[in-house]
Chains A and B, each alone.
Chain A
Amino acid sequence: MPGLGEFWPYIIQGLAFGAMYAVTGTGLVVLYQTTGVVNLAFGAIGCMGAHLAWSMLGGSLSKPTPHAEGWRILAYPLLVVVCAGLTLAYGICIAPLLARRDPLVKSLGTLGLALLLLGIMKERWDTSKPRAIELPSKKFTVAGGVVTTTQLVALGFAILVVVVVTIFLKQTATGTAMRAIANDRDVSSLLGVPTRRIEALAWLGSGVICGCVFLMLPPLFKSLDQGTLTWFIIGALGGAIVGQFSSLTVTFFASMAIGVIESVLTPFSNNFQFMSDFRKMTPFIVAVAAIMWISRRRTVVLAGREMR
């Protein structure tokens, strides 16, 4: 059993990863609320953006971790633009074609996009070679533990995103329109809400969030591993599921808790080694438990109404 002092660096690390889960969860919730789509291609889109940025930064087999110099610093905004563009393109071109299907089929469509992008990445960037992107970052010590500026920025960004998105949804006309569409798409359309435009805006917002997450995620992982980054989304779904794809606050706190628990299990060894070995199952265990709790009363749908 490790001493309490040993946990501190892992708590910091867990807060940073939890923040990434939380921001991803926010992007998923806003998009699901507006369009009924769980964007399972979130990770693949971000990974594609990160790989393009890596190439633009001058990355090569002899230089697997390139540093931004001169004009190449534009690779960072390019990453966000690529993610936003890909997400918006899917939202405008493909998503409307599936708009009348149930959320399951709409979400399966994004799996198609994820596979499509993953295949391109495998063909273009050899998966067997290590790659990484670094952000300009400084290290300093807080209460005996080393903290990086990337970790702090991730945490601050998560709080900012949740607060701004919550205010946006509650206080602005567009936010109200988004909530109206989430409530009833057809009635909102009849009342004059430009559903297509609002949905496109939700896709764009989700894409920008995706870009920002993947600006920070590769430096936190210290790797551009395609599998890890693409399927990061599965872990991030945990918080969104606990928040039932509706509450941003619950999603935020659940994601932070998942990130911290997952991280603080790392130093366990000897008799408790299994806790360290299986720590990555934390989001799945939490999500499955949440789903079982949410659906503890079995329901069936009869004539469009949910019956207990």
Chain B
Amino acid sequence: MTAVATREATLAAEPTHHGIARVTKSQWFSPAAAVVMFLVALFFIPAFFDSFWIANFTQMAVFSIVAASAGLLYGRVGLVSLGQVASYGIGCWVTIRLSFGTPWPFPIIVIIGGLAAVLVGVLIGLPALRVSGLYLALVTLMLAAGMEIVLNNFKFANGGPGFKGVATSLSDIKPTRRPSFALTDVTYYRFLVVGAFVMFILASLLLSRKPGRAWESIRQSEAAALAAGIDVTRYKLLAFALAAFMAGVAGGLYAGTVPKGMSIDAFNRQSAIFLIAVVIMGGIYSLWGGLLGAFFATCLLKFLTQNVIGHQFWTRFALSLFGFGLLVNLIQSTRAAEKKGIQA
């Protein structure tokens, strides 16, 4: 959030078109850095880390997509959605259900899961056409809470019969499917890294083109964007659809990381709040922020648990850590904005 003030200040001080051009061309996702990061994640990490850390980097890859999707909405379009967890959950539910119900290739059902999440994303986006700011955050928080209740009732499929596909007998519960080419943890991790890379590239491509410029304009002033002939409705819905697709795909990819009996804990209200804290701590004005936030929330916490205190202290205390981080970030960005003489 410190970056909020810096960017606000820059955009206020410089001609607007200059600010937009600078943001879209250089800040979002440097291609060279992205490729290096991708290659390191693909080859270096599996070669030098054991299975424990591979599992953590797998979680990080999934979480980075969800965090980047929420950051994209907040940082780029200025819409705070606390409902990204709902899209994440829908993507996961659809992927798991189809993985048991159809013989379709895993990557295809992950994409279908993402598309199903788009429907939810657009549903969440509809109120966003009329409200913004606090009311939007509250609406999306309520939708996330509502989705938790829906998932609680539907439960995740586990190879059982019927529409829900839920088996009640322990002996009938089947393991979640993975792609045939990524059955081991390391190969699935690599599959996830490729999936995350594709999602980041997709977001980056849209951000550096016409939609990205339209979103920047809407974020700065919706009235000015309307006056400039930008179809605000279309671009807001596109933003929600893209963010939901990313979160849905992340949910689908997450499905393969849990061998049996997916729990709804990753998709509850607390996760929705935790996600926004992670996103703000990582930084909302760059896709890298999603990656950084995900690193904090997964690998750093595990490192602290392993090496500093242990006994699950940091895992339990993670909420406090991120709560404190969220507060510090908000206060720092306020101070930075006031220093620049801007009322944020």
Contact = CB atoms under 8 A, between A and B. Distances in A.
Nearest to A116: B323
Contacts, number: 153
Interface stretch (B104-112, B125-133, B178-186, B195-203): B125-133
A288 B142 contact: yes
Interface string A199-242: 00000000000000000000000000001001100110110010
Interface in B216-241: 222-223, 226
A283 interface: yes
Contacts of A300: 222-223, 226
Interface in A253-276: none
Interface string B136-156: 011101110110011001000
Given A98-B330, A111-B277, A227 B134 contact: no
A94 B343 contact: no
A143 interface: no
A137 to B, nearest CB: 29
Given A112-B277, A115-B320, A295-B131, A287 B330 contact: no
B34 interface: no
Contact of A111 (B153, B226, B276): B276
A231 B149 CA distance: 13
A62 B149 CA distance: 32
B331 interface: yes
B142 A278 contact: no
Interface stretch (A6-14, A73-81, A119-127): A119-127
Interface string A272-296: 0000011011011101100110011
Contact of A295 (B130, B145, B276): B130
A31 to B, nearest CB: 13
Contacts of A231: 145, 269-270
B80 interface: yes
A241 B137 CA distance: 12
B321 interface: yes
A101 interface: yes
B1 to A, nearest CB: 9
A301 interface: yes
Interface stretch (A52-60, A102-110, A146-154, A190-198): A102-110
A38 B134 contact: yes
A307 B227 CA distance: 13
Interface stretch (B43-51, B158-166, B250-258, B310-318): B310-318
Contact of B270 (A227, A235, A278): A227
A135 B130 CA distance: 45
Contacts of B172: none
A291 B132 CA distance: 11
Contact of A287 (B138, B273, B319): B138
A97 interface: yes
A123 B313 contact: yes
A114 interface: yes
Contact of B338 (A100, A112, A227): A100
A102 B344 contact: yes
A1 interface: no
* Band of interface residues on A: 35 or more
Contact of A101 (B149, B268, B313, B344): B344
A123 B317 contact: yes
A112 B327 contact: yes
A241 B138 contact: yes
A267 to B, nearest CB: 17
B342 to A, nearest CB: 10
A116 B324 contact: yes
B28 interface: no
A69 B271 CA distance: 39
A227 B320 contact: no
B134 A101 contact: no
Interface in B70-86: 80
A300 to B, nearest CB: 4
Nearest to A97: B331
B142 to A, nearest CB: 4
Contact of B133 (A103, A230, A287): A103
A137 B317 CA distance: 36
A302 B270 CA distance: 36
B229 to A, nearest CB: 14
B57 interface: no
A301 B222 contact: yes
A54 B311 CA distance: 25
B131 A98 contact: no
A70 B343 CA distance: 54
Given A104-B80, A291-B127, A123 B327 contact: no
B142 A280 contact: no
A237 B142 contact: yes
A298 B130 CA distance: 5
B92 interface: no
A283 to B, nearest CB: 7
Closest 9 CB pairs between A and B?
Answer: A119-B320, A115-B323, A119-B319, A116-B323, A112-B326, A112-B327, A295-B130, A302-B223, A284-B142
19 contacts: A38-B134, A102-B133, A102-B134, A108-B137, A109-B330, A112-B323, A116-B319, A116-B323, A116-B324, A116-B327, A120-B317, A227-B270, A234-B142, A235-B145, A237-B142, A241-B135, A278-B149, A298-B129, A300-B226
Given A116-B319, A278-B150, 11 more contacts: A94-B327, A98-B330, A98-B334, A105-B344, A108-B276, A109-B331, A114-B273, A115-B322, A115-B323, A283-B142, A292-B130
